[in-house]
Amino acid sequence: MDKYIDKVEKSMKLTEVIKELRELNKSVEHNGMMLNTPTLDIEECCFLSALECFQTMVPQLKARQKKIQQKVVRNLKSKLLRSVVSCNREEGKNKACQGCDSYPLKDSREFVKQLESLLQKALNRLV
């Protein structure tokens, strides 16, 4: 029963973050700003490093709704969201994941789209 509740809680949190990200996207001035954007073909154990990259880049978006922007950043840092990763700590240590600055530069529109896709991918794994 605990595992089921845990999955439901994680799914609800991911759904909430995706909803907030969509709300944030509506307030972003997409003016060609380029941001390092993790790709979707990252390995399971590199999900966290990709998430951290997105989290450090989100504050650079030119958003009119700063409160939603801060909430998205806070939620990307949440332990619950980070617990979606299914590889163990040892596997994670041995995996050489890309650094944030090595990901390709994409415009802000594509950046938000990729972040949403990554979160959706995590959500799909739970369901």
Can you give the residue ranges of every domain in the chain?
1-125
Each of the 127 residues of the chain gets a pLDDT tens digit; together they read 466 668 888 888 899 999 999 999 999 999 989 999 999 888 878 888 899 999 999 999 999 999 999 999 999 888 766 677 667 656 655 668 899 999 999 999 999 999 999 999 888 887 6
What is the model's pLDDT at position 74?
92
> Among candidates 126, 104, 116, which has minimal Cα distance to 35?
104
CB 108 within 8 A of CB 35: yes
Q: What is the CATH number that goes with domain 1-125?
A: 1.20.1250.70
CA–CA distance, 51 with 56 (Å, rounded to integer): 9
Angle among Cα 25, 83, 12 to the nearest 5 degrees reads 55
CA–CA distance, 113 with 5 (Å, rounded to integer): 29
Calculate helix-pair angle for 108-126, 2-27, nearest 10 degrees.
170
CB 22 within 8 A of CB 69: no
Kindly report the number of other CB atoms within 10 A of residue 49's CB atom.
19
CA–CA distance, 62 with 25 (Å, rounded to integer): 10
Model pTM score:
0.88
CA–CA distance, 67 with 84 (Å, rounded to integer): 25
What is the model's pLDDT at position 67?
96
